[in-house]
Amino acid sequence: MKLVFHGAAKEVGRSCIELQTQGDRYLLDAGIKFKEGGFDYPEQIVNLPDIDGLLISHSHLDHAGALPLFEHYKIICPIYCTKLTYSITKVLLKDSYKIARIRNLHPAYTKTDLRHLEKDIRLVRYDRQYKHRKIRFTFKNAGHVPGSAMILVEAEDKKILYTGDTKLRTTELVKGPTLDYKDIDMLIIESTYGDRELPDRNETRKRFLDKVTEVTNKGGSVLIPVFSLGRAQDVLIMLAERRFKAPIYFDGMCKKITQRILTTPDPYVNNREILDKMFNHKAIHIGSEKHRHHALSQQGIYVTTSGMMQGGPVMSYLRELWHEPKHAILLMGYQCKRTNGRHLIEDDYVYLDGWRTYVKCDIEKYDFSGHAGKEDLKEMIKRINPKKLVIQHGDPDAVEELRSWAEKENKYIVYAPEIGEEIEV
């Protein structure tokens, strides 16, 4: 039995690991990697021999974005995921396709492929073992985003645990994993933050809420660009802790995602009642440009997509707020290179309607992440205590630092694979 890495090896994006057993092939995730001018798909994914099953850890497109390719290229196999993962993935895939068409990017699949995908989906419950052909597998809470799972695969008397993306600590939105694993032969772990620590979340939350209070008390408005899954809901739950002098507006695709989270049962969603109260009773939903214009005519706290300010409703708010020092833009997480969010935190400018625009309002960034930091990754490895350790889903520096630490521990056989590399389980 062996693994072949078709993506996310010394990179973040296009997660896709092939598991080969005697006569069968399975995939753990099938994601895409965003790049300027389009997408990168997992290496050789459309040239693989027959795939017998696909297990999806969660709905982020770097783990599930290549799913429509299976329909397009007639790679027909059952696709296993949690109910909430599939519900959210449908929304994200449709939105990704729409954006690709608007920007004249080639998505490599059609709307028909999206519609036909559903016939191959097999929904699974957490903590229940399933059997498919020659493997048994169990989806366990990963603590990353709603619906996310670590996947425990058992085959040929071996146990493989794939973390997908994971966070050890409970957040506003998602309960942390329990890590009740025994006799794991191989742990495949993410390393997004393998070389750095994240700030204390409670302290970060207080700084964020203090800033919102400060700006609104002085008569300013607050623009909070958010990712539609995870951060948007975190923000609503955090804002529930205080009363502000300005109304809270909720705009963009995060409305649809939040609705899916609230209407789909999931045992690991945290603070569901608070989220429901904020979403359905407290926050004012924005549904049109006219409504945005009206909301901007008065003071407000605007929670809207997209999180890196590359498009979407956030641009309408930005056009109205950038020139006034009394307002603030509060960025809630990682900002990729060459995005408006990165330009803003590094050089105080954004591109508005094609023009470089130097922003005069206050700018702050807060590290709210759905990933485990360096020390938590180490703790997870120690607690799971595998015989073999595979470090992936991180940039080369992050992978190398975690690999170096693990080898010094002298308890595990450690791998840091390249794209296309094969590893014996």
Given this model, what pLDDT does residue 267 score?
A: 98
Q: pLDDT tens-digit profile of 122-141?
A: 999 999 999 999 999 999 99
Rounded Cα–Cα distance for residues 21 and 375 (Å): 34
Helix residue spans in 333-395 (DSSP H): 340-347, 374-384
Predicted local distance difference test score (pLDDT) of residue 417: 98
Predicted confidence (pLDDT) at residue 49 exceeds the cutoff of 90: no
pLDDT at residue 388, as a whole number: 99
Neighbours of 33 (CB within 10 A): 20
- Measuring CA to CA, which residue among 198, 150, 158 is closest to residue 178? 150
Q: Does the pLDDT value for residue 103 go beyond 80? A: no
| 275, HSE (Cβ side, Cα atoms, 13 Å) | 24
At 247-296, the pLDDT tens digits run: 999 999 999 999 999 999 999 999 999 999 999 999 999 999 999 999 99
- Percent residues over pLDDT 70 in the chain: 100
Question: Tell me, what's the pLDDT at 293?
Answer: 96
Reported CATH class of domain 2-196+370-424? alpha beta
- Alpha-carbon span 327 to 362, nearest angstrom: 6
- Residue 334's pLDDT band (cuts 50, 70, 90): confident
Return the sign of the alpha-carbon dihedral for residues 292, 293, 299, 305: positive
Over residues 93-118, mean pLDDT: 84
For the chain, give the percent of residues with pLDDT over 90: 87
Q: What pLDDT is stored for residue 337 in this prediction? A: 82
For 193-201, what is the mean pLDDT?
96
The reported pLDDT for the residue numbered 107 is: 77
Asked if the model's pLDDT at residue 35 lies above 80, the reply is: no
Torsion of Cα atoms, 204 then 373 then 371 then 405, to 10° = 170
Sign of torsion, CA 38 42 43 49? negative
Task: Provide mean pLDDT across the span 148-152.
Answer: 99
Quick one: tokens of 276?
């429901």
CA max distance for the chain: 67
Residue 398: predicted pLDDT? 97
d(CA 162, CA 190): 9
If you search the block for the tokens 């059997």, which residue do you land on?
131
Q: Taking Cα atoms as reference points, which of 211, 147, 176 lies closest to residue 364? A: 211
Phi first, then psi: what are they for 398, rounded to 5°? -65, -45
Q: Where in the chain is the domain with CATH 3.60.15.10?
A: 2-196+370-424
pLDDT of amino acid 105: 73
What span, in angstroms and rounded, lies between the C-alpha atoms of 340 and 148? 28
pLDDT (tens digit, 9 = 90+) per residue, 355-384? 999 999 999 999 999 999 999 999 999 999
C-beta of residue 220 within 8 angstroms of C-beta of residue 302: no
pLDDT of residue 11: 95
CATH of domain 201-365: 3.40.50.10890
* pLDDT at position 50 over 90: no
In terms of phi and psi (left: phi > 0; alpha: psi -120 to 50; beta: otherwise), the region of 275 is alpha
Residue-wise pLDDT for 199-233, tens only, equals: 999 999 999 999 999 999 999 999 999 999 999 99
Composition of the chain by helix, strand, coil, percent to 5 = 35, 25, 45
Residues forming CATH 3.40.50.10890 domain(s) in the chain: 201-365
Alpha-carbon distance of 152 to 136, in angstroms, equals 8
Phi-psi region of 355 (alpha: psi -120 to 50; beta: other; left: phi over 0): beta
- Among left, alpha and beta (phi > 0; psi -120 to 50; other), residue 74 is left
Residue with the bigger pLDDT between 208 and 310: it is 208
- In this predicted structure, what is the pLDDT of residue 414? 99
Q: Check whether 395 has a pLDDT greater than 90.
A: yes
Residue 336 pLDDT grade (very low, low, confident, very high; cuts 50, 70, 90) = confident
